[in-house]
Structure formats: C-alpha cells, structure tokens
Amino acid sequence: MDGKEGNKCDPKFPAFPFKPYSIQVDFMNALYQFLNQGGVSMLESPTGTGKTMSVICSALQWVLDRRRQEASAEAGRESGNNQGTDGGLGFNDEPDWLRSFEVDKDNQNKEGKTKSTKKDKFESLLGKPYEKKKKEISKDFQVKGFEDSTTENGCKNLYKKIDAVDINDNEFLPEEYESEDEEAPGSLALKRKAARNVPTSSSEDGSDEDEEGKKLKIYFCSRTHSQLSQFIKELRKTVFANEMDVVCLGSRKNLCINEDVLKLGSSTRVNERCLELQKKKKNEVAKIKNLGAGARVRRTKASSGCPMLGKQRLQREFRNEASQQGALDIEDLANLGRHLGTCPYYGSRSLASRADLVVLPYQSLLSKSSREAIGLSLTSNIVIIDEAHNLTDSLISMYDSRVTLLQLEDVHFHVERYLARFRNLLGPGNRRYIQTLIVITRAFLQVLLNEKDAGLTDSYQNIEKASEENRASDFTMTINDFIFELNIDNINLVKLVKYIKESNIMHKVSSYGEKLASLERSTAIHKNGEYCEEGSTQSAFQALTDILLSLTNDDSDGRIIISRSRTSSKKQGGYIKYVMLSGEKIFSEIVDQAHAVLLVGGTLQPIEETRERLFPWLPPNQLQFFSCGHIVPPESVMPIAVSRGPSGRFFDFSYRARSSSDMMQELGLLLCNLVNVVPEGIVVFFSSFDYEGKVYEIWESSGILKRIVKRKCVFREPRNNTDVESVLKEYKETIHMSSSSNSKENPASQSGAILLAVVGGKISEGINLSDGMGRCIVMVGLPYPSPSDIELLERIKHIEGFRNSNFTETFGLSANCDVYGGDVQGVFDILRSCSHRGKEYYENLCMKAVNQSIGRAIRHINDYAAILLVDTRYASDSSKRSFSHPVNKLPQWIKGRLISSTSNYGEVHRLLHQFFKFNKRVCEENI
C-alpha cells in the first residue's frame, strides 16, 4: 500500500489505553497521515489534551503497520527468488522510501531468553512472524581506548617511572604531528597512533550491528530530562512499552554514577573528567603494550580510567537487565547502573543501535557531533521533536560559542609557559601549531583590550590600563571581517582545529599547568597573582577551540560579537562570541536524512517564526500543519482584551509609555478589583524582571500593595531558577489553605494568592498552573524582545538580508563592524526600515512568548480560567497598526473565544463575575 492509498483509510489505534476524545483521534489520524507523506510537519495540541499519548499511539502504530508491509514484501521477494525471479512482483509496487528500509532481523543480537520472548510478542502484533535467522551474536561493548590486550613490540621512549608523585615531564609531550598533506616522517607516526586507538569488537566484523542499525526507528526528543521521563511514564501505559525495544539516552551529568566525578558539579566539568579518565586509561594501555607482555607497570588510581567501565561483563549484564525491564527512564537507568556497579551512560548508548524507539534530549539529536559520537543514523527514520516552540533557540544555541577575556588570559599564559619548557623537545610540527595558538590568543586579547601593542608575551600589566572610554559599547563583525582585522587570515583554522583535536594538546598543556600549580600550591595562578574563576584551564581551552571552529563556518552563517564591558570589581568581563543567525543549514541535514520530521507542541503559533528560522527553503504549501481544539468546553475559557482600567485610563504598555507611574498605578487598581472577583490564584505576567520590580515599587509606595494583600498574598518569581520550586510550593499551599479555611461568615478574609511572574522566565515556560493555581492569567502588555539585544538585531538584519551602512566604527577597528551603544531609538529606526519580513519576525517572537505564558492555565478537561490581555493594542483596529494584529497570532482555541472589545472595566468585571459563578456551580454539581 503506497502513501496515497494509506491516506484514504482511517487507521485504528488499539494501543490507546482508554477511549480517546474526538480531538485525540483527529490528532492521531493527522500524525499518521503526515508520516505516510514524509517531509516536515507541525502538529499543535494544547497542553492537557493528551498530546503525548496521542503521539505514542499514532507513531508506533505506524511503525507496526510499516513493518507488517516489510514482512509481507520480504515474503514476496523470497517467494520470487525461489521461482528464479529477481525481487518478486510486489516489490516494484512499493513507494521509493519504503524500499530503502531494511527488513528487520528481530532475532539478531539478542542477549538472553527474555529478549527473545519480547520479540515473539512483538512479532505477534504484526500478524505474521518474520523469517527467523538463527545466528548468535556475542559482541562486547567497548569504549574507545579500552582494549584489554598487550603487544610484544617495545618502544624506544619508555617512561622511566609511572606513578602519581614523580612524573617525568616527557608525559606532557605530544607525539610528533604533521598534517596529512605535508610529507614528513611525523605524519606516519600519527597515523600509527590513530590506528592503534581504534576500538575493536569481539566479533569478526560489524555487519551484524550495522544490520540492526538499519531497521526503522523513531527518535523522540524533548528539551529536558523531566519531559523525557514524562514521555516514558506515558509509554508504560501502553502495550508498546514491553513489546518494543526502547532506550532513553541522557547526559553524563544525569547518568554518571562515579561519585568522584559527580562532585565536580557542572555538566562541563563532569564531561571533561569522564573523557579525561578514558584518555588516561587509553594511554596506560598503550604503555603496557609497548613494554611487552612480560613487563609489569604499577598504575596509579588516577591513571587507571573510570572504575565504572572496567568490566565489560557488567556492561553486558546492564544491557540484559535494561532489555528485560522494558521502558526505563533516566532515573531507572541510573539506579540500575548503581545496582550493578557499571556505567549507565555508556550502557544505554550501546542499546541505541538495536532499539525501535530512542528517547533522547535535544542536544543528543540536533548536534551533528553528538549524533556521530553516539552512532545515531537518521537515514529514512522518523524524528519527533516535542516542545518544538523551543526548537529554534535550542538548535542555534548549540552552535554558539563564547570565550571570555579571563579564559583567553588563562590559555595564553599556560601555552606560553608550556612552549618555554618544551620548545627544544617539540618537533617542528607541534612547535609550529603551538606558536600559532599563541599568535591567535594574543590577537584575541588585543582586540578585547583595544591595545595594538599590548606586550602580552611577557606580562599582563596592560590589562588594568584599558581606557574607560572603550568600555561602553559592543560591536559585531562578519567572520571574514573579524579574521582580516585580526590579521590571522593567513592561518588555516581548519588544520589548527584538527591539530587541537588529534594531538590532544589541550590536555597536555592543562595537565602540565596542573602539575606546576600543585607544586606552587595554587591552582591556575596567573603571573599577576589572580586566579582564573571561570573553570579549569581545559574548559578555557575548549572555549577557545569552539570559537576557532565557529570561524570556519560560512561568512553568512553567523556574526562575531565583541564586548569590552568591564565590571566595577576591576575584573574583566569582556568576551568574544559567535552567534549562529539561522538554523536552516543545520536543520536541513536532519530533514534531508530522515523520512519524516514532526514538530509537536502545545503552542506552536505563530508557525511563520519557526519556518523562517529553520526551513525558509520549504515552500509554505509543503509545510504540513495541524492544530486541534481544546478538550475543555467553550464556557470554561474566557479570554478578554482589556483596554481600559477602573479609572477609565487606556492601558498602553508600549516601550515609550509603560514607565509612567500613572500607567503602573492603573494596573495596580485593576488588580485591586480582580482580587475581589477572582477566586484562588491569579498569575500576572510582566515583560521583564526589571519592569516587574518597578511596578512593585510603585504599588508599595502608593499603598496599592496593601490593598491587594488584604485579599490575597503576593508572591514574586525569583530571578534564580533554583528558588522557583520553593516559591511555587508556598504559593500553592497558600491557595489550598485559604480555599479550605475561608468561610461564608467572613467573606472579607484573605482568599488565595497572586503570583507576579515574568515572560520568558521559568514559570512561563514549563510550569503547570492548573486548577486553583491559575484561575486568572493576566498578560501585561505585548512583551516584545528587548530592542537593545544585539543578537536579536543581527538576526533581524539577517532575515532582511541587509547590513545597515549608517553605523560607523570608533573603537580601534575598521568600518566593517556595527557598534551598539544601547541606543534603543536607533534600533527602532532599524526595525521601521525593515520590510514585512523583519517586522513580522519581531512580532512573532512576542506573540510566541504570549502564547506560552497564557497556555500555563487550562491543563485538563475539568479546568477553567479567565485570560486577560491587558493592553489597548490587543483590542485596537488592525488597520491602524504598522505590524499585523497580535490577536491573529493567538492559538485558535483562544482566538475563537476572545472577547475583543469592552466599553469599560465595569463590563469586564461583570463578565468575570458571571464566568466564575457559572463554573463554580458546575464544579459543585460534578462533585
């Protein structure tokens, strides 16, 4: 059955654990149809409508149906081959994309009796068992560099002593290096080293694993590990959890069970330490090989690798247990690893090639390097991206890079000291590349310090002499302009980055620096006596490497931002940052490889913003979009555009008017009225933390806050995300306690609470404000992104396809850069000069944030809430606006119920009173 024929029939979804709502059936049918068609699709289903379960039951049912077709096609091909034909009659009737799928070999690479039983059950779902190929596979999981063998050959340069205290400095010397296109003896040595470190397999070849990797897979990714755990929780409610191979991949930070590594805290340092332990193990194995079979080497704990990866038998046991227990989330995998005493991070990765469903975070799927490291193949497979409203920013941020002034100082200092110690011992290849690194770090430091002759080789005294007049503005440059301005255009950055990666020079330099630091009884100390407070030298080295890699991108892909800002504590805050302007080239690689890419979310409107930044090359008629309604009845949601306050003043929270004390007090009067008519919880969203702070101060000084507190407690979203949970808990408990204790005898008593939140903060992005926590959502104004955001402006200019020629440069560089001094009016002038595309993009960002915030309410079928859009622009005539009307970009389930015009606040108050009275009665009747 080809794709068109499949669209005509109505697929059934027997795995759905209960009777689905009609909108869920519509959603599953649309998803199934989009999978048949392939390409890029967007599916929007409001939170609370069972979106995750609908995705699971539709997508996995599609896989079962495709495999049923594959099994039938395989049987037809084998029947044709028995008759002497080449492929059978039915083969040519299949669509091209289906022919590219390999027939699933279910009984290959199975480890244990339980795995076989699971496959038998899975085959029964297909209606006809696959052809069984009785072939036993014994393949041990190996991490690169963990070979467990020795060689007879010795080595000319043996270490005299290997222990933790007395290390010969030769340990810090890299092997001689030459590029592959430079004919030199050193290049041969590097190739021999690379060949020696290739991991081997216990089987004769990797063909069996390749066959497993070719079977049809679904990759499901979301932004956070908690969202992935929620997906696994929903999956367990279906038959698919036990009948299909499922693996959940996570980060080292979430899956590492080595307590010594976890103590390091940050994800970056955990990653570094994990890789460092592997390299030490690899180097130690190489030394044992070179010493010969009869030699004995005393290895220290520091150089013995990670103890959680020492026994391959435990890794096999981990895979068996994980397969037996079915769908496990990140926490389950970590607990299993602790129980067995083996690494769950690498154990779960080894299961990915044979899984039917791979559940993983954004980074692991969207980053090409991460996909290659794990061994994920998207070819002809299905990619489902949940919470896709965050996709564009998440994708682009993965390819951003940033190196600070302190990090550059740290790298420059250590590389210079390293070269001074080993200059006469290094071969010409290593010496040339290390000198190139010094040239580049010096050039980067000079551009940040604005010192053409900083004398950085010998001292850092000029750092404190940077003039005050050069500290005000940031500026941007294209990649080519930046390279030419720094006079490093004669350096082959591709070769330099390759050298850093292959020679392991950053580890050599960092290790040598750590040794000296320990001898000096200090850590990473500079010649000026200051400490590097931004992480290890290796982290600083990696930041520099990331910037160098960014400079190898196409000139039009991104911009270099140079900031010379300084802090009052006299510690330098300058940085160089590469900003990816568009994710279209990165995302196109995923689209080109996969059979279908599905973007799923509760709020995807306006979809033009996503299309513009991810796949502008895709014609609108080829972008498949589906949006379903909400499961709640119309009378459970009441959105109102509020244009006037209680005193009759028009609400205008535009940039030029929102700072008026009268406007902020009018907003306070609105809240004073709302606390008397809205039960339980009210959440008020402001455009920024700074503006929320100003409003709070005005309310406090004018006495408005006291009037509000008489009826409801007031909570404020903290800037620190780690404190959000405690504030939300107290907010929820206050609402619950006041609701249960408030009596009719004392109607004037305090009832419920108000939460002052910020658009773009943690509460607006992923917090469930169901039931009493969000009976009323108040959106204050239109939260347009900050016009002084230099990265935003560069993206707008990129979309417009122009660079403003009126900017001039006055900071020591040429006129090839754009300077930003925080001139908001100048930014508005640029926006006004934009065509429809730039303005549309700017407004789409705003409305995307609005939709995310107001979508925090209404989380299930029995929930109800009022949504107040407080600004005259929500109710104004679209013909009088320079941008498109914001109401047109609201989700359909809100836009279709919006009360867009009210004569005064009294009418708003009356509507709210009737709304809550009706829904309270309905709730009481349902109890």
What is the structure's pLDDT at 272? 78
Rounded CA gap, 449 and 463, in Å? 7
What is the structure's pLDDT at 769? 87
Q: pLDDT, tens digit, for every residue of 734-747?
A: 998 877 665 444 44
Confidence of residue 511 (pLDDT cuts 50, 70, 90): confident
Q: Which residue has the higher pLDDT, 535 or 670?
A: 670
Q: pLDDT, tens digit, for every residue of 559-614?
A: 999 988 655 444 557 899 999 988 888 899 999 999 999 999 888 888 888 888 88
61, 13 in Cβ contact below 8 A? yes
Encoded tokens for 54: 């609908």
pLDDT at 367 over 60: yes
Q: pLDDT, tens digit, for every residue of 136-193?
A: 323 332 333 323 333 333 333 323 332 333 345 666 787 777 655 544 433 434 443 4
Question: Of 168, 386, 369, 348, which is closest to residue 246 (Cα–Cα)?
Answer: 348
What is the structure's pLDDT at 566? 57
Phi, psi of 618 (to 5 degrees): -90, 120
pLDDT at 882 over 70: no
Percent of all residues in the chain with a pLDDT value above 90, rounded to a whole number: 39
Rounded CA gap, 708 and 698, in Å? 13
- 560-573 core/surface letters (b: 16 or more CB in 10 A; e: else): bbbbbebeeeeebe
Question: Of 420, 410, 347, which is closest to residue 172 (Cα–Cα)?
Answer: 420
Rounded CA gap, 640 and 633, in Å? 17
Q: pLDDT, tens digit, for every residue of 296-305?
A: 444 444 445 7
Confidence of residue 81 (pLDDT cuts 50, 70, 90): low
| Coil, helix or strand at residue 203 | coil
Percent of all residues in the chain with a pLDDT value above 70, rounded to a whole number: 72
Mean pLDDT of 693-716: 95
Q: What is the dihedral of CA 600, 605, 606, 609, to 10 degrees?
A: -30
What is the structure's pLDDT at 535? 52
What is the structure's pLDDT at 792? 85
Confidence of residue 112 (pLDDT cuts 50, 70, 90): very low
**3-state DSSP of 594-656:** CCEEEEEECCCCCHHHHHHHHCCCCCHHHCEEEECCCCCCHHHEEEEEECECCCCCECCCCCC
451, 462 in Cβ contact below 8 A? yes
Average pLDDT along the chain:
77
Q: Which residue has the higher pLDDT, 881 or 469?
A: 881
Q: Given the structure tokens 């011992």, which residue do they identify? A: 425
Q: How many CA atoms lie within 13 A of 535 on its CB side?
A: 22
What is the structure's pLDDT at 572? 56
Where does 744-862 have alpha helices with state H?
762-766, 790-800, 824-833, 836-854
What is the structure's pLDDT at 83? 54
Q: pLDDT, tens digit, for every residue of 261-285?
A: 888 877 877 887 888 787 665 555 5
Rounded CA gap, 780 and 868, in Å? 8
Q: Given the structure tokens 């306070």, which residue do they identify? A: 668
Question: Of 562, 570, 577, which is closest to residue 472 (Cα–Cα)?
Answer: 562
Mean pLDDT of 79-103: 43
Q: pLDDT, tens digit, for every residue of 822-878?
A: 556 666 777 777 777 788 888 888 998 999 899 888 878 888 999 999 999 998 665
H or E element in which residue 578 lies: strand 575-580
pLDDT at 524 over 80: no
Question: What's the whole-model pTM score?
Answer: 0.74
Residues in contact with 616: Cβ distance below 8 Å, sequence separation at least 6, in sequence order: 582, 584
pLDDT at 26 over 60: yes
